[in-house]
Amino acid sequence: MYLCLLVAGGARTFLWPASAAFMPQLVSRRNFPKAVTWNSGTFHLSSVAGPALGGMLIAVTHSAASVYAINAVAVLICFALMYFVRSRHVVVAKEEMSVKSLVAGFKFVFSTRILFGIISLDLFAVLLGGATAILPIYAKDILDVGPTGLGWLQAALPMGSLLSAMILAHRPPMEKAGRTLLWAVAIFGLATVAFGFSTSFWFSLVTLFVCGAVDNISVVVRHTLVQLLTPDEKRGRVSAVNSLFIGTSNDFGGVESGFVAHLLGPVFAVVSGGIGTILVVIATALVWPEIRKYGRLDGQDQK
């Protein structure tokens, strides 16, 4: 099992940057923010529907093997759909693998202030605001709702993200994308603080729903800017850097939340993480003022 997980993790390392760099080749710059929004929406829809359908199948068949089999078939269908995608694009000259080429993505991110700023914002916000890692503690010891309540708590985040994606998909591109990003992350921090203090199951659901909604806004803005501000020949490597930051912050955020909860209690872990997220937003706005000054998300008004 561990060997299979290792192989799957290695494959995912290539999948995320490749798929992120692939999308700008399929849609125009003007329509790219909407494509990112729909892509995010389908992901969160799967996050809600997938576990529910998987649980139903396990309940009916009394075995998880059927779920894995269906997942394998779905992967093969996805492979076939990707194989038949045809798009005209300029093929860049193949670059010889070297240490210089490997670090080119990092160098570009560090030298492009707005990219470095938004990726750093996401890194530290997720690292500090990882309340989802200790949801089982809240469900069992604080809210006293058991496994069923835990399921609803875990579903609240992607449900909020899905609703946010549906709204964004039917609206024109954001006019003040930079400020919207900062406000979204700040509201995420405030909602996290509110969840940390909550002892009401329904209020906790609302706060997590809000977290999911504003988190999707930040995902759309960040992913769109990373792709549109990166040249074609560096997009794959920059996407790899972005994926590395996201994966690192998610995993270490869970470790950080669990460690602080063990030492100082779950409420302190969640509340302090939310406050830390708000402080990160303030620091980002001061250190990288170009983020809050960024205009239309599709870049049409940028010089």
Residue 169: per-residue pLDDT: 77
Rounded CA separation 222/181 (Å): 8
Say yes or no to pLDDT of 92 above 60.
Answer: no
* Tokens coding 229: 């501000």
Residue 97: per-residue pLDDT: 58
Chain-centre distance for alpha carbon 59: 30
What's the pLDDT tens digit per position in 182-233? 999 999 999 999 999 998 999 999 999 999 899 888 888 888 888 788 887 7
- Residue boundaries of the structural domains of the chain: 2-87+103-293
User: With bands split at pLDDT 50, 70 and 90, how would you rate the model's confidence at 163?
Assistant: confident
User: With bands split at pLDDT 50, 70 and 90, how would you rate the model's confidence at 278?
Assistant: very high
Rounded CA separation 260/258 (Å): 6
Instruction: State the residue for tokens 């200790």.
Output: 134
296 and 173 Cβ atoms separated by less than 8 Å: yes
Residue 89: per-residue pLDDT: 57
Residue 243: per-residue pLDDT: 76
**Percent of all residues in the chain with a pLDDT value above 90, rounded to a whole number:** 15
**Which residues touch 155 (CB under 8 Å, ≥6 apart)?**
48, 51, 52
Range scoring the smallest mean pLDDT among 11-15, 203-207, 264-268 = 11-15
What's the pLDDT tens digit per position in 26-78? 777 777 777 777 777 777 677 767 777 777 787 788 878 888 888 889 889 98
Rounded CA separation 128/256 (Å): 7
Model pTM score: 0.78
Residue 153: per-residue pLDDT: 86
**CA triplet 201, 207, 208: central angle to 5 degrees?**
90
Rounded to the nearest integer, the mean pLDDT of the chain is: 81
More confident residue, 227 or 113: 113
Instruction: State whether residue 87 is helix, strand or coil.
Output: coil
Residue 200: per-residue pLDDT: 92
Region 121-144: what's the mean pLDDT?
Answer: 83
What count of other Cβ atoms lies within 10 Å of the Cβ of residue 235?
23
Residue 303: per-residue pLDDT: 46
125 and 277 Cβ atoms separated by less than 8 Å: yes
* Tokens coding 87: 């798009």
- Homologous superfamily (CATH) for 2-87+103-293: MFS general substrate transporter like domains (1.20.1250.20)
Q: Is the dihedral of CA 157, 207, 226, 8 positive or negative?
A: negative
- Residue type at 64 in one-letter notation: A
Rounded CA separation 146/276 (Å): 29
More confident residue, 239 or 137: 137
Region 77-86: what's the mean pLDDT?
Answer: 83
* Best mean pLDDT range from 132-146, 149-163, 183-197, 209-223: 183-197
Residue 88: per-residue pLDDT: 60
Residue 201: per-residue pLDDT: 92
Residue 95: per-residue pLDDT: 59
